[in-house]
């Protein structure tokens, strides 16, 4: 599927940070010349952190794509605390150098959204799924499959942004949120899903297939 991309290459969440970083660097360059170099490096970091490139989404209706860029840190059977069911959990850890836009893992309707305040533990740890600040979406596909996608704050992350609520209809790979400065996303899938990801895999939001749902999705 060709990317349908309504946002510029720099995520809108980053515009104030980038503007402030560039302004500080320009002012420092005017006042101190080459001593402003650290501020220019900081501006470059902000630029790379808030980049938001277009993605090509797989057309397979059964595909569950990663909701985030990063590395797979968990593939296991687990209890989905949001829907109260046994599920397959695939977790992706984002460091500060990954793209932090979050994309819908499946096409579907948002049945419910939950937000819980919490701690800010290292998002690579398993207990971050239950103890950190988090925002969860319950998605139901056109084929009636339930997928839970959970944005989790990390050690440095202090802001989870989610732009959809119950009733919203999402296309696979559609942008729905953003997490600032390092975090994690958990995907809870039906037990009969066919997992394609493995621990250690590097994945890309909207493009990398984590699993395939049973039936015709």
- The set of catalytic residues is 183
Q: Which value, to the nearest 10 degrees, does the dihedral of the CA atoms of residues 150, 153, 154, 157 take?
A: 140
For residues 89 and 78, is the Cβ–Cβ distance under 8 A?
yes
In sequence order, the 6+-apart residues with CB closer than 8 A to the CB of 170 are 104, 107, 108, 109, 110, 139, 164, 176
How distant, in Å, are the alpha carbons of 17, 136, 163 from that of 68? Answer: 21, 14, 15
- Angle at CA 71, nearest 5°, toward 65 and 73? 100
Provide DSSP, 2-60: -----S-SB-GGGHHHHHHHHHHHHHHHHHHGGGGHHHHHHHHHHHHHTB----PPP--
For residues 58 and 207, is the Cβ–Cβ distance under 8 A?
yes
Residues β-bridged to residue 194: 212
């Amino acid at each position: 599927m060709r990317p349908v991309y309504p946002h510029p290459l720099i995520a809108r969440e980053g515009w104030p940070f980038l503007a402030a970083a560039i302004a500080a660097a320009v002012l420092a360059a005017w006042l101190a010349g080459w001593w402003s170099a650290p501020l220019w490096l900081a501006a470059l970091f902000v630029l790379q952190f808030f980049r938001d490139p277009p993605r090509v989404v797989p057309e397979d209706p059964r595909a569950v794509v990663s909701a985030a860029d990063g590395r797979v840190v968990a593939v296991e059977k687990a209890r989905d605390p949001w829907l109260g069911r046994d599920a397959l959990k695939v977790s992706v850890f984002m460091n500060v150098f990954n793209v932090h836009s979050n994309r819908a893992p499946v096409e579907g309707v948002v049945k419910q959204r939950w937000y819980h305040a919490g701690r800010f533990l290292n998002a690579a740890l398993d207990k971050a799924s239950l103890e950190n600040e988090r925002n969860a979406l319950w998605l139901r596909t056109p084929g009636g499959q339930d997928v839970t996608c959970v944005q989790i704050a990390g050690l440095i992350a202090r802001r989870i942004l989610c732009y959809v609520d119950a009733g919203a209809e999402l296309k696979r790979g559609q942008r729905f949120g953003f997490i600032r400065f390092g975090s994690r996303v958990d995907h809870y899938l039906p037990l009969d899903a066919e997992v394609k990801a493995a621990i250690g895999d590097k994945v890309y939001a909207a493009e990398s297939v984590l699993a395939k749902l049973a039936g015709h999705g």
